[in-house]
């Protein structure tokens, strides 16, 4: 059964340093006691901030997330499988797990102010202080998918930390739900993001970084209706036309309830896109809304709902009691992603999606804060994170580089020194990607780029990407069926969504998608209608031509050939038409002609910049600049005295010399 645990907490709102005994009676007997002091981690992220004492002394190490300094993350001392994400902005609220049980913390519904004192094994309460309620959710399966490991010298997309730069927009209904208080609305949204960030950091090695926020305190700037998909479309139009802040995704926090079985929706694989990088999330308590944000962001990074494969082998959720984050409904505060969800995210990255997630942000929503792990304005370094402390703590003290240190961490930093120019810091993940190399004058790997759209990949051959577990259908299926313009083959819906359009003969490879030996259920999305199936006899053999409309949550139909798919030599699909690559008006890089790219010594990136081959440099890669082979140091490197120490030593020596002279002179006269 699921046990209920009630706490009364005397936490001062927005306080950074408080003392608070928290008592609870759990399952009629055991009492958990929280007693200690909340302190900001700042430059000492190992600081103990709270003690948990069921039977042994445990401590929580939580770090401030900046701004009002009332957002914390961390884990229980001595419990490597534990984690926590808490806020003290308006009482104690958040979520934590000790590795055995998961707890959600929310304000008491009646808003009563009480403080507990311990009497034996029971709690007696008196009034006057802010209250919170803690609900013990369930026994958790011990984590078995994560293990302590050393990062490889060349990080993979899994091992390299990713950063989702998130902007949150609070609509007018959300503002009303939170007592028409701008500060309370802001703090609530930050608490939601803080909890979601803790889950993503633990499960996906991905940080959710809040970089901007907007609150509609007088009226909604877009039409927010009961249909979540319509609201999402309206919101993304607003983003494109009106939002100027840079971010990877923008999410709407809405105070209304949508007519849907789910509490939010988002464009699948839309992260990094200005037109599809967004989602909407309906109002709830901090914990449930954080899970909704995890789900909608999961859609943005390529995850699908687990509803049609929740019992299929490796896709089974590892936590049968709590469920998994991308399950449909019916679970309260799940904290794990299924193996399939993790694999979908990894595949999304390996296929070149999410290229914007590999740059570490240097500007956050809150003012610069030494100790938050992000190098911001006025800082040379910031080892606020445990990872940074392990990898470069000796190079950085109080957000200032130590003597002789060039850097403290980063993919191009080693032993407080920059890696040499040309060292590969991020491998290419596929034929359309470009490997990134260190520049020799920065600790950070250049941000992720890929080849300019229009490059031929896989030697110009089209690779079938059918939405079902199957092989590509024969070309004749496309030539015959898509030219007919029926439900079994077409180039899209007719006007006003009625009927079907015939494909012109040159465009048949850009219409309805056909597979052979197709399964009944699509791998992704929900099947709309029946799978169309037709067997055609052609050139002394029977051809299997099957297709279907697989709709994603955002309304996208995977039953058609994707834009950008090659449809012939130097030809590409766009909006159900097969067009010459030259018709796309693709930009060209410096030093490029129709037959030469970047002086034949580089690759043109999606930012229309030349990425030069080794030993070449310049904007057009025309300058031969060979990289010298590294010379191994002879003997142990010794660090000389710093300039400051030399000055101090000189002054001290001069004073000592003067004292000796004066002392000797005085002695002689005496």
Q: What is the CATH number of domain 368-449?
A: 4.10.70.10
Other C-beta atoms closer than 10 Å to the C-beta of 475 total 12
pLDDT exceeds 80 at position 230 = yes
**Of 208, 194, 161, 169, which is closest to residue 93 (Cα–Cα)?**
194
**Can you tell me the distance from the alpha carbon of 238 to that of 244, in angstroms, rounded to the nearest whole number?**
11
Strands 206-215 and 162-170: parallel
Confidence band, pLDDT 50/70/90 cuts, at residue 9 = very low
pLDDT, residue 390, reads 65
Confidence band, pLDDT 50/70/90 cuts, at residue 309 = low
- Residue percentage of the chain with pLDDT more than 70: 66
pLDDT exceeds 60 at position 30 = no
Sign of the four-CA dihedral 486, 488, 492, 497: positive
pLDDT, residue 479, reads 94
pLDDT digits (tens, 9 = 90+) for 381-422: 987 766 656 655 689 988 999 988 999 888 999 999 999 999
Confidence band, pLDDT 50/70/90 cuts, at residue 87 = confident
pLDDT, residue 348, reads 92
pLDDT, residue 435, reads 93
pLDDT, residue 563, reads 82
**Can you tell me the distance from the alpha carbon of 5 to that of 58, in angstroms, rounded to the nearest whole number?**
19
Helix ranges, 628-669 (H)? 643-669
Residue range(s) of every CATH 3.40.390.10 domain in the chain: 162-357
Joined together, the tokens standing for residue 163 give 């950063």
pLDDT exceeds 60 at position 112 = no
**Of 578, 140, 130, 80, which is closest to residue 331 (Cα–Cα)?**
140
Confidence band, pLDDT 50/70/90 cuts, at residue 26 = very low
Interval 40-44 mean pLDDT: 33
* Residue that has been written with the tokens 């499988």 in this structure: 81
Pick the CATH number of 162-357 from 3.40.390.10, 3.30.200.20, 3.90.180.10, 3.40.640.10: 3.40.390.10
Task: Assess contact for 413 and 407: CB atoms under 8 A.
Answer: yes
What does the buried/exposed string (b/e) look like for 100-131 if buried means 16 or more CB atoms within 10 Å of the residue's CB?
ebbbbbbbbeeeebbbbeeeeeebeeeeebbb
Interval 431-456 mean pLDDT: 87
Q: In this predicted structure, which of 67-71, 279-283, 325-329, 445-449 has the lowest mean pLDDT?
A: 67-71
pLDDT, residue 58, reads 33
pLDDT, residue 585, reads 60
**Can you tell me the distance from the alpha carbon of 208 to that of 561, in angstroms, rounded to the nearest whole number?**
33
pLDDT exceeds 70 at position 468 = no
Residue 440: helix, strand or coil by DSSP? coil
The continuous run of DSSP H or E covering 149 comes out as none
**Of 332, 335, 283, 337, which is closest to residue 4 (Cα–Cα)?**
332
Strands 526-538 and 515-516: unpaired
- pTM score: 0.68
Measure Cα distances from 89 to 12, 62, 107, 606 in Å. Answer: 8, 15, 11, 43
Other C-beta atoms closer than 10 Å to the C-beta of 459 total 6
Residue 309 sits at the vertex; the CA angle it makes with 307 and 315, to the nearest 5 degrees, is: 120
Other C-beta atoms closer than 10 Å to the C-beta of 206 total 22
Measure Cα distances from 280 to 264, 300, 484 in Å. Answer: 5, 11, 39
Backbone torsions φ then ψ of 589, nearest 5 degrees: -85, 165
**Of 306, 409, 288, which is closest to residue 360 (Cα–Cα)?**
409
Residue range(s) of every CATH 4.10.70.10 domain in the chain: 368-449
Q: What is the DSSP string of 366-400?
A: SPP-TTSSS--TT-S----SHHHHHHHGGGEETTE
Backbone torsions φ then ψ of 339, nearest 5 degrees: -60, -40
Answer with the residue of higher pLDDT: 267 or 125: 267
- Sort 152 into a burial class: Cβ within 10 Å, 0-12 / 13-18 / 19+: exposed
Task: Assess contact for 156 and 201: CB atoms under 8 A.
Answer: no
- Reported as half-sphere exposure (CB side, CA atoms, 13 A), residue 229 has a value of 9
**Can you tell me the distance from the alpha carbon of 557 to that of 210, in angstroms, rounded to the nearest whole number?**
31
Joined together, the tokens standing for residue 580 give 């010459």
Sign of the four-CA dihedral 235, 236, 240, 246: positive
Confidence band, pLDDT 50/70/90 cuts, at residue 304 = confident
pLDDT exceeds 80 at position 142 = no
Interval 96-124 mean pLDDT: 48
**Can you tell me the distance from the alpha carbon of 54 to that of 620, in angstroms, rounded to the nearest whole number?**
65
Task: Assess contact for 287 and 106: CB atoms under 8 A.
Answer: yes
Joined together, the tokens standing for residue 46 give 């190992």
Which distant-in-sequence residues (6+ apart) come within 8 Å of 560 by Cβ?
492, 511, 512, 513, 576
**Can you tell me the distance from the alpha carbon of 350 to that of 154, in angstroms, rounded to the nearest whole number?**
15
Q: In this predicted structure, which of 376-385, 499-508, 535-544 has the lowest mean pLDDT?
A: 376-385
**Can you tell me the distance from the alpha carbon of 387 to that of 393, in angstroms, rounded to the nearest whole number?**
9
Confidence band, pLDDT 50/70/90 cuts, at residue 42 = very low
Phi-psi category of residue 529: left, alpha or beta, with phi > 0 → left and psi -120 to 50 → alpha: left
Tell me the range of 104-108, 126-130, 176-180, 381-385 where mean pLDDT is highest: 176-180
Helix ranges, 276-378 (H)? 286-300, 339-350
Confidence band, pLDDT 50/70/90 cuts, at residue 534 = confident
- Residue percentage of the chain with pLDDT more than 90: 37
Q: In this predicted structure, which of 28-42, 121-135, 313-327, 654-668 has the lowest mean pLDDT?
A: 121-135
The continuous run of DSSP H or E covering 311 comes out as none
pLDDT digits (tens, 9 = 90+) for 628-665: 877 665 544 444 444 445 455 555 555 555 555 445 44
**Of 110, 105, 57, which is closest to residue 84 (Cα–Cα)?**
105
pLDDT, residue 444, reads 92
Residue 625 sits at the vertex; the CA angle it makes with 623 and 631, to the nearest 5 degrees, is: 175
Sign of the four-CA dihedral 300, 301, 304, 310: negative
**Can you tell me the distance from the alpha carbon of 269 to that of 238, in angstroms, rounded to the nearest whole number?**
20
Q: What is the dihedral of CA 260, 264, 268, 270, to 10 degrees?
A: 140
Tell me the range of 74-88, 315-329, 345-359, 554-568 where mean pLDDT is highest: 345-359
Which distant-in-sequence residues (6+ apart) come within 8 Å of 106 by Cβ?
93, 132, 133, 135, 285, 286, 287
The continuous run of DSSP H or E covering 443 comes out as none
Q: Residue 25 forms beta bridges with which residues?
A: 31
Mean pLDDT over the full length of the chain:
75
**Of 91, 105, 86, 65, which is closest to residue 12 (Cα–Cα)?**
91
pLDDT, residue 459, reads 55
């Amino acid at each position: 059964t699921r046990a209920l645990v009630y706490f009364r907490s005397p936490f001062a709102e927005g306080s950074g340093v408080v003392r608070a005994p928290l008592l609870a009676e759990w399952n009629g007997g055991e009492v958990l006691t929280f007693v200690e002091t909340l302190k900001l981690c700042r430059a000492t992220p190992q600081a103990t901030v709270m003690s948990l004492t069921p039977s042994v002394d445990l401590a929580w190490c939580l770090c401030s997330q900046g701004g009002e300094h009332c957002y914390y993350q961390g884990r229980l001392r001595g419990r490597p499988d534990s984690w926590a994400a808490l806020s003290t902005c308006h009482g104690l609220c958040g979520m934590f797990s000790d590795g055995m049980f998961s707890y959600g913390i929310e304000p008491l519904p009646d808003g009563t102010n009480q403080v507990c004192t311990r009497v034996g094994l029971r709690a007696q309460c008196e009034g006057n202080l802010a209250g919170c309620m803690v609900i013990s959710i369930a026994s958790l399966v011990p984590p078995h998918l994560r293990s302590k490991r050393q990062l490889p010298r060349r990080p993979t997309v899994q091992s390299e930390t990713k950063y989702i730069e998130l902007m949150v927009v609070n609509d007018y209904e959300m503002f009303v739900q939170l007592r028409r208080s701008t500060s309370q609305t802001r703090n609530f949204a930050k608490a939601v993001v803080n909890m979601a960030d803790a889950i993503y950091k633990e499960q996906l090695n991905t940080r959710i970084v809040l970089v901007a926020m907007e609150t509609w305190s007088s009226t909604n700037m877009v039409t927010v209706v009961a249909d979540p998909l319509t609201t999402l479309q309206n919101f993304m139009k607003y983003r494109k036309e009106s939002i100027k802040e840079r971010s990877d995704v923008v999410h709407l926090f809405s105070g209304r309830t949508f007519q849907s079985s789910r509490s939010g929706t988002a464009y699948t694989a839309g992260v990094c896109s200005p037109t599809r990088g967004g989602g909407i999330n309906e109002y709830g308590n901090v914990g449930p809304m954080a899970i909704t944000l995890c789900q909608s962001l999961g859609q943005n990074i390529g995850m699908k709902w687990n509803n049609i494969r929740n019992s299929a082998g490796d896709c089974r959720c590892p936590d049968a009691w709590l469920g998994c984050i991308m399950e449909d409904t019916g679970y309260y505060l799940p904290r794990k992603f299924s193996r399939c969800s993790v694999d979908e995210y990894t595949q999304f990255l390996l296929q070149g999606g999410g290229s914007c997630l590999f740059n570490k942000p240097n500007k956050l929503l809150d003012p610069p804060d030494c100790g938050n792990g992000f190098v911001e304005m006025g800082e040379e370094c910031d080892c606020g994170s445990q990872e940074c402390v392990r990898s470069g703590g000796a190079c950085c003290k109080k957000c200032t580089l130590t003597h002789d240190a060039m850097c403290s961490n980063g993919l191009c930093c080693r032993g407080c020194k920059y890696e040499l120019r040309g060292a590969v810091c991020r491998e290419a993940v596929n034929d359309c990607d470009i490997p990134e190399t260190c520049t020799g004058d920065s600790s950070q790997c250049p941000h992720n780029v890929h080849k300019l759209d229009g490059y031929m990949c896989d030697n110009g051959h089209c690779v079938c990407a059918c939405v079902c577990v199957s092989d590509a259908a024969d070309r004749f299926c496309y030539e015959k069926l898509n030219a007919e313009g029926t439900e079994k083959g077409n180039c899209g819906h007719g006007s006003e969504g009625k009927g079907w359009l015939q494909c012109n003969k040159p465009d048949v490879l850009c219409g309805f998608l056909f597979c052979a030996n197709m399964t009944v259920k699509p791998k992704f999305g929900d099947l709309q209608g029946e799978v169309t199936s037709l067997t055609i006899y052609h050139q002394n053999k029977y051809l299997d031509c099957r297709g279907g409309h697989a709709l994603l949550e955002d309304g996208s139909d995977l039953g058609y050939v994707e834009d950008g798919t090659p449809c012939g030599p130097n030809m590409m699909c766009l909006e159900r038409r097969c067009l010459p690559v030259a018709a796309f008006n693709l930009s060209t890089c410096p030093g490029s002609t129709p037959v030469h790219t970047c002086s034949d010594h580089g690759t043109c990136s999606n930012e229309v910049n030349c990425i030069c081959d080794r030993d070449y440099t310049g904007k057009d890669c025309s300058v031969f600049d060979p990289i010298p082979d590294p010379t191994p140091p002879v003997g142990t490197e010794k660090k000389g005295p710093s300039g400051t120490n030399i000055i101090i030593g000189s002054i001290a020596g001069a004073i000592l010399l003067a004292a000796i002279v004066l002392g000797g002179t005085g002695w002689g006269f005496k």
